[in-house]
Chain A
Amino acid sequence: MPSRKTFLVLLSVLLLPAPLAAQRMERAFPSSADALVELRNQAGRVLVHGWDRPNVLVVYDRRSRSTDVHFDEGANRLLIHTQVLQGDIQASERVVDFEIWMPAAASLDLHLDVGEVEVDGLRDTTKVETVAAAVVLREVQGTIQVTTTSGPVSVTESAGRLNVVSVSGDLRFVNTPGRFLAARTASGSIHLEGALLDGGDYELSSHEGAIELWLPANASFELFARSLQGKVTNSFPLRPKSRGRLPPPNHARSLLGTVQSGAALLRASSFSGNISIEKR
């Protein structure tokens, strides 16, 4: 026979408003090393880690009972998606936080509207798409594609083929010695810091935001930097191109030339933002 106290506790739990009843759950799935893990979430914090085990572990935390989490297992594919059960709930009630461990060689395809994403330790294909969520990638390799509308993107200690596009998000790359980097933002800024690989191809463009490059003093690259209305500054000894077409007069804020032996190709362009190439 439950005591009066126990009864009151049980009653209070049952009467707890749905939004306050956060639910932390855990699911594990067997997975091959080259599987695809897809996550479609609307709001929340999503952490994804690569590991060496042949399975996927998903820990999630719903902030309310107004959302549900579904798992669809297919051949070599796991789709995780959240669903709002009631249409008229507040934004905070849509939040579902995830922490996922998946094989490092598996691919990730992640969509999150708002919140934040952190990914580390993956080695194959990582695709992240957000509306306003911030994206942080650490120690990720392989093919990396990030698209945000306004979310900032930060990539550190990662070597791969990077393609990052945002409308208004700031883009930051620190120690990303991949051979290919394409970064584009319309109103955000771009910060690139670290060494360039010989034979690497780096293209950065922003319409209005500043582009800052902090490179090692011994960096070797061909530079094509142009800003139509902003300033281009460079602290490296630049050997102007002796041949080839000179920039037209309306591109007066351009710097084209070779630093050291020109081992990497570096292109930076902006319509009205400043471009600076500095020694680290």
Chain B
Amino acid sequence: MTEESAMMTCGELRRRLGPVLEGESEPEALNHLNACPHCRALADELIAIGRAGAHLPVQEPSRGLWGRILRAAEAEELIETSWAGQLAGRFGLFQPVAVNLSFAATLVVILLAAAALVGYPGLNLSPVSKQAADRIAVARTELALAPEYGDRYARHLDRIEEAVRDEVLLPDTQLTLVAQSNLDTLDRYIHQCQARLSTYPDDEFTRDELNRLYQQKTTLLQATLDPNWQTSVR
């Protein structure tokens, strides 16, 4: 998909992606996402990041934070406060009086960003995010980003396997048998490692081995989605 060939360009889509991911109905944007693998991959990455953010522990700001922000703003001469406001600030009570407009706008952005980081609500999956190819792209990205987290591997492998089941109907041929046999082997080894880790959770050797097996399984599953492979078995 190129910028020229779509009704909505990639640039336009990216400007409107935020509301779309939050569930706003924009048929043009959805059409573009269905047709453009690059934007779809971007959308799924954003959804994955949103999900990851949703799993972060919620952090409450300390009682003194607002006072420190006010004092910093005063030091920068961004705001002027009344005597009552100064007093309230010192006691951790929020009561700014005359706020510089640019400061207010900056503050809103910061607070929104902070809210997104500490407690971003789980994004609803739009129809777009259910694209199989995107799940694989996201899984691969996340594997590269966080290879040490075995549970993430497992979750994303599940996602990829779903995609393979949904998208690829491999006929019963020699290559399919090879793939299935090797997937079974890898699954068996993965279960061995998982069983051991349940007994020895700190066993780094087994954890490393498990990660290698996850990587191999991911590679093999991705290979079955490769057009060359699919052509071969037909």
Contact = CB atoms under 8 A, between A and B. Distances in A.
Interface of A: 40, 42-43, 84, 87, 91, 94, 111, 113-114, 131-132, 147, 149-150, 165, 167-168, 184, 186-187, 205, 207-208, 226, 228, 248, 250-251, 269, 271-272
A91 B200 contact: no
Contact of A269 (B179, B192, B205, B231): B205
Interface in B185-201: 185-186, 189, 192-193, 196, 200
Given A113-B175, A131-B223, A168-B182, A84 B234 contact: yes
Contacts, number: 78
B228 A132 contact: no
Contact of B213 (A114, A186, A272): A186
Given A113-B232, A271-B206, A132 B175 contact: yes
Contacts of B189: 186-187, 207-208, 271
A150 B231 contact: no
Contacts of B174: 91, 114, 132
21 contacts: A40-B228, A84-B231, A91-B173, A91-B174, A94-B232, A131-B178, A131-B223, A132-B175, A147-B219, A149-B220, A150-B181, A167-B220, A184-B212, A186-B182, A186-B185, A205-B209, A207-B189, A208-B189, A226-B205, A248-B203, A251-B205
A272 B188 CA distance: 13
Given A114-B174, A207-B209, A269-B209, A167 B186 contact: yes
A26 to B, nearest CB: 25
B179 A250 contact: no
A272 B192 CA distance: 10
A149 B179 contact: yes
B124 interface: no
Contacts of B219: 147, 165
B213 A131 contact: no
A199 B200 CA distance: 35
Given A114-B174, A131-B223, 17 more contacts: A40-B228, A42-B228, A42-B232, A84-B234, A91-B173, A114-B175, A131-B175, A149-B179, A167-B185, A186-B189, A187-B185, A205-B209, A207-B189, A207-B213, A228-B196, A248-B203, A271-B192
Interface in B216-231: 216, 219-220, 223, 228-229, 231
Contact of B203 (A43, A132, A187, A250): A250
Interface of B is mostly: helix
B229 A113 contact: yes
Contacts of A94: 232
Contact of B234 (A43, A87, A111, A149): A87
Contact of B186 (A111, A186, A228): A186
Contact of B229 (A131, A207, A248): A131
Contacts of A114: 174-175
The 4 closest A-B pairs by CB, nearest first: A167-B182, A42-B232, A113-B232, A207-B189
A141 to B, nearest CB: 26
A69 B55 CA distance: 52
Given A91-B174, A271-B189, A42 B216 contact: no
B228 A149 contact: no
A207 B208 CA distance: 11
A271 B195 CA distance: 13
A117 B168 CA distance: 27
A117 B175 CA distance: 17
Contacts of A132: 174-175, 178
Contacts of A184: 212, 216
Interface in B47-103: none
